[in-house]
Amino acid sequence: MISTAQRLVNLEDLHHAMRQGRDLLYPSQPKIMVGTATCGLAAGAEEVLHAVREEVANSQLPYQVTETGCIGWCSQEPLLDICIPGRPRVTYGRMKPGRAREIVRAIPEVKREWALAMMPGDENTLNGAHVNYCVPHNGHMDGLTAYKDLPLFKRQLRIVLRNCGIINPDSLEEYIARGGYHALWHALRKHTPEEILNEVKRSGLRGRGGAGFPTGMKWQAVRDAQGEPKYVICNADEGDPGAYMDRGVLEGDPHSVLEGMTIGGYAMGAHQGVIYVREEYPLAVMRMKQAIRQAEDAGLLGQSIFDSGFSFEIRVVKGAGAFVCGEETALIRSIEGKVGEPQQRPPYPAQHGLWGKPTCINNVESWANIAVIVQRGGDWFSQIGTAKSKGTKVFSLVGNIENTALIEVPMGTTLAEIVYEIGGGIPNARACKAVQTGGPSGGCIPADKFDLPVDYDSLNQAGSIMGSGGMIVMDDHTCMVDIARYFLEFLEDESCGKCFTCRVGTQRLKEIVTRISQGEGEEEDLDLLQDLGWLVREGSLCGLGQTAPNPVLSTLRYFRGEYMAHIRDRRCPAHRCRELITFEIDPVLCNGCGACVQICSGKAILGEKKKPHIITQAQCTKCGACLEMCKFDAVLVH
Amino acid sequence: MPEMEAVKPLLAQFEDERANLIPILQEIQATFSYLPEEALRRVARKLHVPVTDVYQVATFYRCFSLKPRGRHLVQVCLGTACHVRGGDLVLERTQTETGAGLSGTSPDLEFTVEPVRCLGCCGLAPVMRVDRDTFAHLDQAKVRGIVNRYRPRKKPATVDTIAASAEKVRS
């Protein structure tokens, strides 16, 4: 962290900060890093960090202990890394305080036990630089795989996530040491706003919030719009369930968003920026606020940045818990202190946005791309990806998948590559059924369509959308009718109520699907779902309503048989819909340990110790806790 | 109303601008764990907006509550990743264990349990958050232990309880 506020005015200042940052990034003493993003903390990173700090303090050795953001290896959290000068960085997973202490005590030796992987150096997509951590003959460590050879990381290209898990998010110098704020310097001192805008246009970048509108065109519209002042907004209201890409960036590399927004402000002639962060992300709010203070102190925000005469300020607005506020017009209303109801478009925010002034809204991931586009050029960026979808996309790969992770891959990577190679397939030797993309606005893509390249247009054709990047993998234990019901419940609850078709339509859709999931559906219901789905789509004002039928229509398109099983046979093939299943105990497999009796929420399980138990059906709530508890697979579901 | 004393300095931190409505309500919610009616009236007066406007905002957003919440806020994640890994069952179990039931708040005002859309820790699903602490890889069996951590310590010993435990030892 910057000890004394130093204003960065010219390139020499930036280089000076860069050298300071390098000393922190690659110190001459061993460095221990603990990943402390929200997910790391949830997995116990704080205890690990505390143990490491204590151990270092006790040893009185000059080791550095720092925090870092999320490198995306979520299934191995909490993560700990040690960097010993001249040797590769080594990562340890699923750390416990005791093990962390042992690892620290072993320094300067690298403890091989529990080590997951090593990094002989790091690639920096921002400027194409490569930093070697180790002297050549020490580049490889026997038995440890390099990150770039791991299936999880091999196919990744990290533009947006370039610094996540590498730098300390609280350190401005470390951000600068990896080339940060150089793009801003170049933009302000070497280029006109038009040149920057053209570079963004040339890159082919499309909005990463989900809809995929060309960013350059949006910027042009704001630049050309009449009215002052103009505003720049970062949409960090990441509401899609199952998506946390933006949180990863906000918590792991906050300055990348600030730099992108400031460049955007310069290109569009705006001097004020707002970051709207959802309130469920307290750590992201804190890190962003801290980053803004640092940037202000260093003169990277405020009056006449880099003595260019261009001024820009950014403030954070915290959301209040409404999914619909991810929609741009609703988000603007929310910043204005009003109820977050979407507005008719046109006029678009580019003409009539915050306080009625021209406003550019892009999401976190879009903003984090900007510095790289300016630094390396639009042409470089547009070489990555497919014909119509340029660059990379960050996905949160979650659900029933071996490697739950935050990944960034070039557009056009196939679902099969993502699920089976990067994700390592489905755990417990189960079959993969589908992948859900695009959150409540998206759909489920069945496993037999996994050769689909992931880009905006292919996903649309398949009845889903790119969305913000949540990718939830579902195994054969997932019931598609239940998933449709789940999303409809979500949408019914989150519909702001303005449009009748959305407010009532989502209710009726949910009722019909719930009826089917309870075994009380009729075949005609499926036609009704189609008709009603069309009506909700056509009759609603904003994206929430227009896409609300997607989850039910896409599951109906690909999994009609499953709906029919619920309707005709009154059966849930995935054994998920409560009304259609019964639990039983196999008298042969049950050894009467009594674990299920303890956990049973309906007190429905009877039996003497060491004798087979039985479930009283009338009292069974079908919560499935007995199934979870039983170590002998004695609980059966029909 | 004595608690309204705390509202005055709280309101004084903000300028009289409509855009401050949500931040002010967030501060009040954080201080009182709900939005008292009188506080809403004062906010309306301060910002020169009708009380109905304040009420509309207070009831639109999920983070506000017009009823007192429990001492501990338990947010069980129902994001998609949590859902496919049994988050709904964890929620149900939490409602039972805390005594909050479907009403949301336990009768002893210790816990308010509410489903939350997504905490963004999908890699650790299913998850829940109690106040500021997040718990990962949950199943129904883990819920009781977590809830018990936040229960108030046993009541201080009184003459009666000491007598009762002495009785127990003797028998």
Q: What's the average model confidence in pLDDT over B30-55?
A: 95
CA–CA dist A102, A104 (Å, integer): 5
Nearest partner of A121 among A139, A95, A102, judged by Cα: A139
A481-490, A599-608, A619-628 — most confident range: A481-490
Say yes or no: B40 and B108 in one domain. no
Say yes or no: B55 and B88 in one domain. no
**Confidence (pLDDT) at A167:** 96
Say yes or no: B33 and B77 in one domain. no
Instruction: Count the domains in chain B.
Output: 2
CATH number at residue B13: 1.10.10.1590
CA–CA dist A623, A618 (Å, integer): 13
Say yes or no: B77 and B140 in one domain. yes
Q: pLDDT, tens digit, for every residue of A543-592?
A: 999 999 999 999 999 999 999 999 999 999 999 999 999 999 999 999 99
| More confident site: A187 or A602 | A187
Q: Can you tell me whether residue A283 is helix, strand or coil?
A: helix
**Confidence (pLDDT) at A4:** 47
CA distance A31 to chain B (A): 27
List phi, psi (to 5°) of B80. Answer: -60, -40
Q: Does the residue B170 lie in any domain?
A: no
What percent of chain A clears pLDDT 90, i.e. is strictly above it?
Answer: 88
**CA-CA distances (angstroms) from residue A443 to A123, A388, A545, B95?**
35, 21, 14, 31
Q: pLDDT, tens digit, for every residue of A9-22?
A: 999 999 999 999 99
Q: Measured between CB atoms, does B78 come within 8 Å of chain A?
A: yes
pLDDT at B171 over 50: no
Q: Does the residue B156 lie in any domain?
A: no
Q: pLDDT, tens digit, for every residue of A257-269?
A: 999 999 999 999 9
**Confidence (pLDDT) at A108:** 87
Q: What's the average model confidence in pLDDT over A591-601?
A: 91
Say yes or no: B7 and B44 in one domain. yes
CA atoms in the 13 A half-sphere facing the CB of A485: 20
How many inter-chain contacts (A to B, CB under 8 Å) are there?
Answer: 161
B119·A478 Cβ contact <8 A: no
Where helices occur in A280-404 by DSSP H, the ranges are 282-297, 328-335, 364-376, 378-382
Q: pLDDT, tens digit, for every residue of A241-256?
A: 999 999 999 999 999 9
Q: Minimal Cα distance from B62: which residue of A?
A: A321
| pTM of the predicted protein model | 0.93
Q: pLDDT, tens digit, for every residue of A155-174?
A: 999 999 999 999 999 999 99
User: What is the SS3 assignment for A384-453?
Assistant: CECCCCECEEEEEEEECCCCCEEEEEECCCEHHHHHHHHCCCCHHHCCEEEEEECHHHCEEEEHHHCCCE
Q: Does domain A582-637 have CATH number 3.30.1490.190?
A: no
Question: Which residue of A75, A494, A496 is in closest CB contact with B123?
Answer: A75
Which residues does chain B have within 8 Å of residue A244's beta carbon, measured at their own beta carbons? 118, 120-123
**Confidence (pLDDT) at A134:** 72
Q: What's the average model confidence in pLDDT over A420-431?
A: 94
pLDDT at A6 over 90: no
Is residue A391 within 8 Å of A205, Cβ to Cβ? yes
Tally of CB atoms within 10 A around A351:
18
Is residue A167 within 8 Å of A25, Cβ to Cβ? yes
Q: Does the residue B85 lie in any domain?
A: yes
Show me where the domains of chain A are located: 24-152, 181-381, 392-475, 480-568, 582-637
B47 lies in which domain range? 2-60
pLDDT-based confidence at residue A138 (cuts at 50, 70, 90): low
B120·A238 Cβ contact <8 A: yes
Say yes or no: B76 and B126 in one domain. yes
- CATH code: domain A392-475 is 3.10.20.600
Q: Minimal Cα distance from B64: which residue of A?
A: A320
B63·A599 Cβ contact <8 A: no
Nearest partner of A70 among A47, A93, A96, judged by Cα: A93
**Confidence (pLDDT) at A1:** 45
Say yes or no: B51 and B80 in one domain. no
- CATH code: domain A24-152 is 3.40.30.10
Q: Measured between CB atoms, does B102 come within 8 Å of chain A?
A: no
Average pLDDT value for chain B: 88
Q: What's the average model confidence in pLDDT over B72-82?
A: 93
**Confidence (pLDDT) at B2:** 59
Mutation target for A interface from B27, B90, B118: give the one with most A CBs within 10 A: B118
Nearest partner of B52 among B61, B42, B41, B63, judged by Cα: B41
Q: What share of chain B is helix, strand, coil (3-state, %, to 5)?
A: 55, 10, 35
Say yes or no: B85 and B49 in one domain. no
Q: Which two tokens stand for residue A540?
A: 């609603």
Q: pLDDT, tens digit, for every residue of A278-302?
A: 999 999 999 999 999 999 999 999 9
CA distance A299 to chain B (A): 26
pLDDT at A136 over 70: no
Question: Which residue of B60, B118, B139 is in closest CB contact with A241?
Answer: B118
pLDDT at A131 over 60: yes
**CA-CA distances (angstroms) from residue A324 to A138, A174, A278, A347?**
53, 36, 11, 19
Which residues does chain B have within 8 Å of residue A337's beta carbon, measured at their own beta carbons? 17-22, 57
Q: Measured between CB atoms, does B135 come within 8 Å of chain A?
A: yes
**Confidence (pLDDT) at A130:** 86
Q: Minimal Cα distance from B88: which residue of A?
A: A623
Q: Please give the single-letter amino acid code of residue A597.
A: V
A601·B81 Cβ contact <8 A: no
Q: What CATH class does A181-381 carry?
A: alpha beta
pLDDT at B163 over 70: no
Which residues does chain B have within 8 Å of residue A435's beta carbon, measured at their own beta carbons? none
**Confidence (pLDDT) at A2:** 46
**Confidence (pLDDT) at A3:** 44
Q: Measured between CB atoms, does B51 come within 8 Å of chain A?
A: no
Residue A421: CB partners within 8 Å, gap ≥ 6?
Answer: A151, A154, A155
Sheet strand arrangement including B128-130? B111-116, B72-77, B128-130, B133-135
Q: Minimal Cα distance from A241: which residue of B?
A: B79
CA distance A86 to chain B (A): 33
pLDDT at B153 over 60: yes
Average pLDDT value for chain A: 94
Which residues partner with A117 through β-bridges? A91
The CATH number of A480-568, from 2.160.20.10, 3.30.470.20, 1.20.1440.230, 1.20.1250.20, is 1.20.1440.230
Q: What's the average model confidence in pLDDT over B127-136?
A: 92
